[in-house]
Structure 1
Amino acid sequence: MSVGVATVALLPGLAITADAAGAAAAETVTHEVDALGDAVDADPRDGVCRTASGTCTLRAAVQETRASRGPDVIVLPRGRIELSRPLAWPLPSLVADLERDPSRGDLDLVGPVTVRGAAADATTIDGNAIDRVFSVGPRSNLTLSDVKITGGDATVADRTPADIAIGGAILNLGRLTVERVALVRNKADGGGGIFSTPFTTFTVRDSLIAFNTAAEGGGLRIDGGATIVNSTIAGNRLFERPFSQLIPDEITGYGGGIDHRGSGNVTIVSSTITGNTALKAGGGYTSGQGYAPIAPLTNVWPYRTTLLNTIVAGNTVGGRLDNCHVSSMVIESRGHNLADDGSCFLTGPGDRPGRAARLGALADNGGPTRTRMPLAGSPAIDAGATGGCPGADQRGVRRPRGTACDIGAVER
């Protein structure tokens, strides 16, 4: 199937594609993945997801999205898909972050694509530590749902001390929506789960970001805008990363759960940020345009973080509670948030700073992803706002189940 696509070679195996026929509308193309392997497409331009053995793999489907005029939908089966085709030659991480060859390494997307699994506890994509899993191109739009992503590792491309590998599971240079997804045990220098570059946007709903590791932004590194709803960000941690003198020391050690450094606002609603660990400040959440801390609550930049019905508790630095850190930005409470220290500037109506959250361990409490359920007697129970609370929690359970919504991602 000819679609009028011109290819411009950059380096051997590195290419970008440009639509040579204009931007005419096209029908949605659906690719049904029926094999769990990582084989490439036999003919990436014929419009048919088909490997040499006649099956359709996830990688082959991603390759075929280049041949359609989009949008594309990739439907994944139950089971574990394991990536096994690393980049063909060593690349500095900056080049590896920008390469767009979907036949090797991460799965590079360049158009509007939806990837949908059976459920986060039924469909797994394992990066197998060969690269990150997905790279969303500058003009791409990825909607990812009902999958678990694990084993992504962006650091394998590091070749010099100055390299900074970003986005352990997903690197977002465009638009990203994540729904009912688990991003678990991925690794990068920045953004163990997701790294979203400046002037981009992404949304996370009903999802789990857990046990990812990075030098900063253990779970999420946000350099643009973001919306996080009904999601649990738990157990992410930072590691020591030596850099050369070209990289300032202030770039590392901040934001065990989330590190927001960017060109947009962040809104967090009915979510739970807990059990994350940083090295310097902001065990749960850091927000600051400058890398070096200036002064708490210094409103230098116009961007801010807004919290509503959210728990930020049990996050640590060096074994002590340290939930939030702000430099050059503002955390604005819309009310009904809970923290077990005073670092998150919770002064809105119904806020509960300095209160122990009393949460159970991360466990299967129903639904496709694990959650941390408020225990009996938790100050989060029935303490949420009457307006702005989603109609269901992270598991899909109806809210409220008492006199008001519970604070956090899960309704007891």
Structure 2
Amino acid sequence: MRYIRFCSAAAVAAAIVTVLTSGGAAAADPDRVPCSGTALSLAIATARNGETIDLRRDCTYHLSTALPAIGKDLTIRGNGATILRDGTSGSAFRIFDIASNGNLRLQDLTVRGGYLISGDGAGIRVNGGALRLSKVDVVDNTVGQSTAVGGGGGIAVEPGGSAEIRSSYVAFNNANNGGGLYTRGTVTVENSEFARNHARYSGGGIYQSGDSIFVGSSVIRRNTAAGSLNGGGIFVAGSNLTEIVDSKITNNTDTGTRGGGIYNAGNLRLAKSEVSGNVVGGVGGLGGGIYNTGGLRLKDTDVFRNSANGPAASVGGGIYNNGGTVTLDHSNVRNNASTVAPGGVFSTNDVSVTDSKVVGNIPTNCTPNRVPGCTD
């Protein structure tokens, strides 16, 4: 493919159509979309099903209007480029919108600055289609606060949609729920990081309330939530499995009252992972590491150095279980703290324990004792 050297929109469109229909040029002189938001919109609109669009290396594509919705099979290779909503445009729009028949693959790209007054997915919305990210940064996208339901400052996956997020970075996004990711679909996250996202209500990093989600070899850190249900790092609801393997949920904060690291009202399994350094800091905060009302299983997973440090009766620096089921399998809850005992595990019902320890927590480990083998 060749570089296209045209100025007018009509000329750019004609050139793109020519390239797409002619089969391109020599590999030594690859054709890439000219460095403008208009050219990018035209390239997406005119691309054939199954086409690959190459962006200019390290270019910033400034958008003053929304890109066309993706209703076909399309790959965009960013080559280090950035797609940026131009804040001077005065318009509110998301960057990418994938329709139910769309299949979008993004590679080596930054998606930045999407803004919605309300709705889901300021950076990217998967509205029933499929999304695949590889080496993509989704940063600085915001859903405004006009309603309490807007989710997914960075990415939103609606019911029936799916997303694969690999080797990517989702950070500094804001929404009411799911600052980084809001999903009611099916999601796989691998070798990625969710950092410094903020939810005004629940799920600072990730909010899951639909189909299954798998998180592997990833980090969820320094996210925040502030509402009534919370989950500074992750909020989980629904009966489908949420599985976190070989990952870290660390240094997240809930300024409200439930779950500095994780709020679980669903079906959550953690394996070979750690929940560490998380804080619930509101008045009467519960569960510095994990607040649980659903099904929670920890396998080869440690919960440590979390705290429920808010005023009044802040309880359960490690885990606070309110009527759910908790299984500790070769997992330890250690060196957590809370304002009021216990600092390790508080549970309203018995916890299932296999070769696990609750030790070194302050002011106590698990009084009242619902954890077999635990002593204070």
What TM-score range do you get, normalising by the shorter chain? 0.5 to 0.7
Residue 128 of structure 1 aligns to which amino acid in structure 2? D
CA distance in 1, matches of 2:20, 2:86: 23
Per-residue deviation, 1:352: 1.0
1:285 to 234, 258, 282: 234
Where does residue 310 of structure 1 map in the other structure?
247
Per-residue deviation, 1:232: 0.8
SS at match of 1:267: strand
Per-residue deviation, 1:59: 4.5
Alpha carbons of structure 1 residues 46 and 144: separation in structure 2 relative to 1, 3 Å? closer
Alpha carbons of structure 1 residues 36 and 57: separation in structure 2 relative to 1, 3 Å? farther
1:149-188 CA-partner distances (Å, limit 9, x unpaired) = 1111122xxxxxxxx3221111112100011111111111
1:180 to 97, 114, 135: 135
Under a length normalisation based on structure 2, what TM-score does the superposition of the two structures give?
A: 0.64
Contact 2:82 2:112 in 1 (8 A): yes
1:254 has 2:202 as partner: yes
Where does residue 124 of structure 1 map in the other structure?
82
Deviates more, 1:55-64 or 1:171-180: 55-64
CA distance in 1, matches of 2:85, 2:5: 16
Q: C-alpha root-mean-square deviation of aligned residues, in Å? A: 3.2
1:77 has 2:56 as partner: yes
Where does residue 122 of structure 2 map in the other structure?
168
Alpha carbons of structure 1 residues 311 and 176: separation in structure 2 relative to 1, 3 Å? same
Which one has a bigger Cα radius of gyration?
2
1:42 to 13, 27, 31: 13
Alpha carbons of structure 1 residues 351 and 71: separation in structure 2 relative to 1, 3 Å? same
Alpha carbons of structure 1 residues 270 and 353: separation in structure 2 relative to 1, 3 Å? same
Where does residue 300 of structure 2 map in the other structure?
350
Contact 2:37 2:62 in 1 (8 A): no
Which ranges in structure 1 are unaligned for 5 or more consecutive residues? 1-29, 87-104, 156-163, 240-252, 290-300, 357-378, 380-412
Where does residue 266 of structure 1 map in the other structure?
213
CA distance in 1, matches of 2:298, 2:271: 6
1:139 to 66, 79, 101: 101
Under a length normalisation based on structure 1, what TM-score does the superposition of the two structures give?
A: 0.58
Which ranges in structure 2 are unaligned for 5 or more consecutive residues? 22-32, 144-149, 278-287, 307-331, 333-376
1:152 to 108, 114, 129: 114
CA distance in 1, matches of 2:141, 2:8: 19
Alpha carbons of structure 1 residues 107 and 59: separation in structure 2 relative to 1, 3 Å? farther
Of structures 1 and 2, the one with the larger relative CO (CA 8 A, separation 6+) is 1
Contact 2:160 2:186 in 1 (8 A): yes
1:333 has 2:288 as partner: no
Residue 235 of structure 2 aligns to which amino acid in structure 1? T
Residue 250 of structure 2 aligns to which amino acid in structure 1? A
Contact 2:271 2:300 in 1 (8 A): no
Alpha carbons of structure 1 residues 231 and 142: separation in structure 2 relative to 1, 3 Å? same
SS at match of 2:69: strand
Contact 2:120 2:156 in 1 (8 A): yes
Where does residue 324 of structure 1 map in the other structure?
262
Residue 109 of structure 2 aligns to which amino acid in structure 1? V
CA distance in 2, matches of 1:69, 1:42: 14
SS at match of 1:215: strand
Per-residue deviation, 1:284: 0.5
SS at match of 1:77: coil
Alpha carbons of structure 1 residues 113 and 336: separation in structure 2 relative to 1, 3 Å? same
Per-residue deviation, 1:326: 1.8
Contact 2:152 2:182 in 1 (8 A): yes
Contact 2:162 2:186 in 1 (8 A): yes
Contact 1:35 1:56 in 2 (8 A): no
2:165 to 190, 204, 208: 204
Where does residue 227 of structure 1 map in the other structure?
188
Contact 1:107 1:133 in 2 (8 A): no
1:218 has 2:167 as partner: no
CA distance in 2, matches of 1:215, 1:118: 32
Deviates more, 1:107-116 or 1:201-210: 107-116
Contact 2:13 2:43 in 1 (8 A): no
